[in-house]
Amino acid sequence: MNDQNPFKIIIIDDNPSIHHDFVKILKTKSPNEIDNLSAELFGGEGTTTQFPEFEIDAASQGKEGVLRIKTALETGKPYALAFVDIRMPPGWDGIETIKHIWEINKDIQIVICTAYSDYSWEDTVKHLGKTDNLLILKKPFDNVSVRQLACALTKKWELTRETKDYTTQLQQEVSDRTMSLQKSLSLLKSTFESSSDAIIVINKDGTITDYNVKLIEMLQIPKSTIESKSEESFFDYLQTQLKSPDEFLRRMSELRENRTEVDISVIHFKNGKVFECYSQPHQLNNEVVGRIMDFRDITKRATLEKKLHHQATHDPLTGLANRVKLLEEIKDAFSLSNKHDSLFALLFLDFDRFKLINDSLSHQAGDTLLKEAATRLQASIRKDDVLARLGGDEFVILLKNISSKKEIEDKASKILSVFHQPFHIADRKLTITASIGISTYPTDGDSIDILLRNADTAMYRAKAKKGDHYIFYTPTMNSESLATLDQDMELRSALANNEFFLVYQPQLDLGSEKLIAVEALIRWRHPKKGILSPIDFIPTAEETGLIVPIGDWVLKTACAQNKAWQEAGLPPIRVAVNVTAQQFLVNNLTQKISTVLKETKLDPQYLEIELTENVILSNREIILAVTELKKLGIFIAIDDFGTGYSSLSYLHRIPLDRLKIDSSFIQHIQSANDDEVIIRAIISMAKSLNLEVLAEGVESLDQVNFLKKYDCADVQGYYFSAPLSGDDIKKSLENPDFLKKLKDSLKKHAHEGS
Ligand code: C2E
Ligand code: MG
Ligand code: MG
């Protein structure tokens, strides 16, 4: 009992005077009395010890006592101690009574009050069993013993109760904790199971200690493998499923060595699935006891990443590698080449006249051609070589592991030959050629930029050969600019020394074969090299800017010559003069031309200016200048039409009079179906734009017949006449049969010569 509540004691005795005695002995009245009792009991002054207060009840019979004990227990005020007489006739004796009491309340402390002749301790134990809640008090009582017993046993009862409460509380706590642990464990287990990842726990000894159902589902692990609980069987199984098992197994054995390491690796299964494997040490009390592996299905993500990477590194039209990928591949080729002491080559390939096909047919047809050509090109190279499309009709082929120049030559020829078979596009047979420039590592440079630039330079040289050629880069292609310097000096003196002269090539009306105009073409009578063609010096003249004074001279000379023919009373014809972009851009060309016309007194309608399409479209100012020339009444022609990169749609915006179809198309008449298609397209387009058409480089009767069939109005070419001197032009103007006779005599000469 606590401080407020007295301990409850019950005296069960058939003798009421005994009740009275107990009350007297145990009931205390005042604090002094307590102190005295305490001193009596425990010795000393007894001033500080508190003798407990008792509430004493009595029963005369065993049954009555038991009933009271029961009621007290039920009302929550149990007895701490019972003094039970051993003999209580006529009812239960003490032993019987105690049996009943303990049936109700085991905790109650009991003192059996007995006379000498009653039960011995052994008998009592025999009847009631061994217990420490029972003491025997011999009659007659000693007051002090009674007080001692009451005091000690109630204290014991209180301690027992407290201990019991404490134990119950502890038990409750343990059960609460167990419950909460069970809860977290089940939470953990359900998290483990509800995870979308496959999880496996393997201990240090290589035993699988845990795994979730997902592991079996996702990795499709056979039951026997997982039931074996062996890490080795698990990895053996994975080995059969992975695309590159060696790499994964190597990583796993590394992790076995470094137990604390965390690792994330991506593993590819043969069935196409991709997993991210997150592996971390399994720790218990700061000690690594094994490893937890978490497999996450990242197939979708990996597929998307792969797609994105493919998009970033490939050309969407042809599916070939793009510039990014090519650069990566060239980087690799450097190290491969250095390692194996081998060469690699870059082939810069460009279609000849692609732009025109694109424009005259359709962009769709152009795309189809590119795709078809890409397929053929791909088939013509080895698997290790790389074919990339840089854009437009520019391709680069990287040939790896090359041992000789001959090998590159063979491959380049093979590549060019894929174009020799016509392409079937938009219900047409198209023939196209390509030009290739080649640079090799290490000969032609040691960086990607230099190698690509040199291959590109060489490609332009190949193009100058009118296509279907490959050319190796040579350092002279760059050092040719040095040679240019020398030629620059020579050209300057040529002008001063009057070493230039003009020849005039007749242009005829195809129907009447009448001379209608001449094209002025420059020649250089070189003091040492003899007569040089424009191709030998015009490029240098353009590079050094000398083309401007040379061009001025051509213009003046041609106009003067034409005026001279007219003044000689010959029928008036036009003279065509070739003009470059530079001539337009330096000074005021319109002003210059009108001055020349004034000086030579030539009517503007007898002067024709030839520009290439690239010249016209290279600059807005040129378009304006052409417009002004046109206003002066000068005839404007586009030269070498079809070889440039212009879009045909521009033509109607520029005031033009004539298109000169480039000789390369004319030369393919009868041999290339697509060129015929293009010529017909140009002729009909020119007509729709109200332009005259002249075919250049006409050399054969077949070509003449073809051009006649498709209504090409004008022609120029060796078939009718090579470029002639001014005198010969004069003669042909005087005598319409002159050209024919000239041709016949040339034929005869050729015949006799053969
Ligand atoms: P172009 O303006 O296209 O001139 C036609 C070229 O074709 C001339 O070459 C002519 O001789 C050649 N030719 C004519 N008929 C035939 C033929 O039936 N078959 C073949 N295969 N060729 C034929 P040329 O005189 O060597 O001139 C070459 C180029 O040089 C000219 O091409 C022109 O672009 C340029 N050129 C010529 N003279 C001048 C000039 O005074 N100033 C400028 N800026 N360029 C000029
Ligand atoms: Mg020309
Ligand atoms: Mg031409």
Whether the CB-CB separation of 675 and 665 falls below 8 Å is answered with yes
Helix (H) or strand (E) holding 277: strand 274-284
pLDDT at 645: 52
Which amino acid belongs to residue 364?
Q
Q: Could you tell me where the beta strands, DSSP code E, fall in 403-538?
A: 423-425, 428-430, 434-441, 469-472, 500-509, 514-526, 530-532
The pTM of the full predicted model, rounded to 2 decimals, is 0.48
CA 660 to ligand 2 centroid distance, Å:
8
DSSP state of 443: T
- Give the H/E segment covering residue 561: helix 547-567
> What gap in Å lies between CA 122 and CA 114, rounded to an integer?
14
- The C-alpha atoms of residue 47 and residue 27 are separated, in whole angstroms, by 18
Atom number, ligand 1, closest to the C-alpha of residue 583: 44
Distance CA 662, CA 644 (A): 10
Helix, strand, or coil here: 689? coil
Local structure of residue 142 (DSSP, 8 states):
P
Q: Which residues pair with 114 in a beta bridge?
A: 138
Q: List CB-based neighbours of ion ligand 3 within 5 Å.
A: 639-640, 696
Query: Is residue 392 within 8 Å of residue 356, measured between CB atoms?
Result: no
| Antiparallel, parallel or unpaired: β 692-695 and 81-85 | unpaired
| DSSP letter, residue 195 | -
- 366 in contact with ligand 1, CB cutoff 6 A: no
The region that residue 319 occupies, defined by phi over 0 for left and psi between -120 and 50 for alpha, beta otherwise, is: left
Q: Is 726 in the pocket of ligand 1 (CB under 6 A)?
A: no
Q: Is 646 in the pocket of ligand 1 (CB under 6 A)?
A: no
Q: Measuring CA to CA, which residue among 161, 232, 196, 111 is closest to residue 2?
A: 161
Which runs of E-coded beta strand occur in 363-499?
386-391, 394-402, 423-425, 428-430, 434-441, 469-472
CB 405 within 8 A of CB 324: no
What's the pLDDT at 43? 56
Residue 664 Cβ contacting ligand 1 at under 6 Å: no
| 330 in Cβ contact with 315 (< 8 Å) | no
Which listed ligand is nearest to 723 at the C-alpha?
Answer: 1
* DSSP 3-state of 401: strand
Among 532, 538, 542, the mutation site with the greatest number of ligand 1 atoms within 8 A of its Cβ is 538
What are the strands, taking DSSP E only, across 52-116?
54-59, 81-85, 109-114
Q: Which alpha helices (H) appear in 277-433, and where do they start and end? A: 299-313, 323-340, 354-360, 363-380, 405-417
Query: In ligand 1, which atom is closest to the CA atom of 542?
Result: 44
**Alpha carbon distance 676, 689 (integer Å):** 20
Residue 455 CA, chain-centre distance (Å), reads 30
Chunk the chain into consecutive blocks of 10 residues (it has 754) and report each block's average pLDDT, rounded to whole numbers. Answer: 75 93 78 56 53 91 96 94 92 93 92 77 82 85 86 92 91 91 85 88 93 92 92 93 90 88 91 92 90 92 84 91 95 92 94 73 85 96 95 94 93 94 81 92 93 92 81 82 66 92 97 95 92 87 85 97 97 96 80 95 97 73 86 94 65 86 87 78 87 95 94 95 96 91 79 59
Query: Could you tell me whether strands 7-12 and 81-85 are parallel, antiparallel, or unpaired per DSSP bridges?
Result: parallel
Ligand 1 atom with the shortest distance to the CA of 580: 44
**Ligand 1, atom 35, residue with closest C-alpha:** 534
Cross-strand partners of 219: none
Q: Which two tokens stand for residue 586?
A: 């330096």
Does the beta carbon of 532 lie inside 6 Å of ligand 1? no
Strands 692-695 and 7-12: unpaired
CA end-to-end span of the chain = 147
Q: What are phi and psi of 453, to 5 degrees?
A: -65, -40
Q: Compute the distance between CA of residue 341 and CA of residue 333 in angstroms, rounded to an integer.
A: 11
Residue to probe by mutation, ligand 1, list 521, 531, 561, 661, most atoms within 8 Å of CB? 521
Q: Which residues pair with 8 in a beta bridge?
A: 55
How many CB atoms within 10 Å of residue 528? 5
Nearest ligand atom owner, CA of 579: 1
580 burial level (CB within 10 Å; 0-12, 13-18, 19+): middle
The pLDDT value recorded for residue 270 is: 94
Helical (H) or strand (E) element with 145: helix 143-194
Amino acid at 82: A
The response to whether residue 505 sits with its C-beta less than 6 Å from ligand 1 reads yes
Contacts 24+ apart (CB under 8 A), 137-143: 137/83, 137/111, 137/112, 137/113, 138/114, 139/113, 139/114, 139/115, 141/21, 141/25, 141/113, 143/25
**Upper half-sphere CA count for residue 46 (Cβ side, 13 Å):** 14
Q: Which residue in 466, 465, 441, 467 sits closest to 455, CA to CA?
A: 441
Per-residue model confidence (pLDDT) at position 48:
47
* Alpha-carbon span 677 to 665, nearest angstrom: 10
For ligand 1, is residue 93 a contact (CB within 6 Å)? Answer: no
Tell me how far the alpha carbon of residue 661 lies from the centroid of ligand 3, in angstroms.
8
Q: Which residues pair with 10 in a beta bridge?
A: 57, 82
Q: What pLDDT is attached to residue 460?
A: 83
Residue 551, exposed/middle/buried by CB under 10 A (0-12, 13-18, 19+)? buried
Q: Rounded to the nearest whole angstrom, what is the distance from the C-alpha of residue 639 to the centroid of ligand 2?
A: 5
Taking residue 741's Cβ as centre, other Cβ atoms within 10 Å add up to: 12
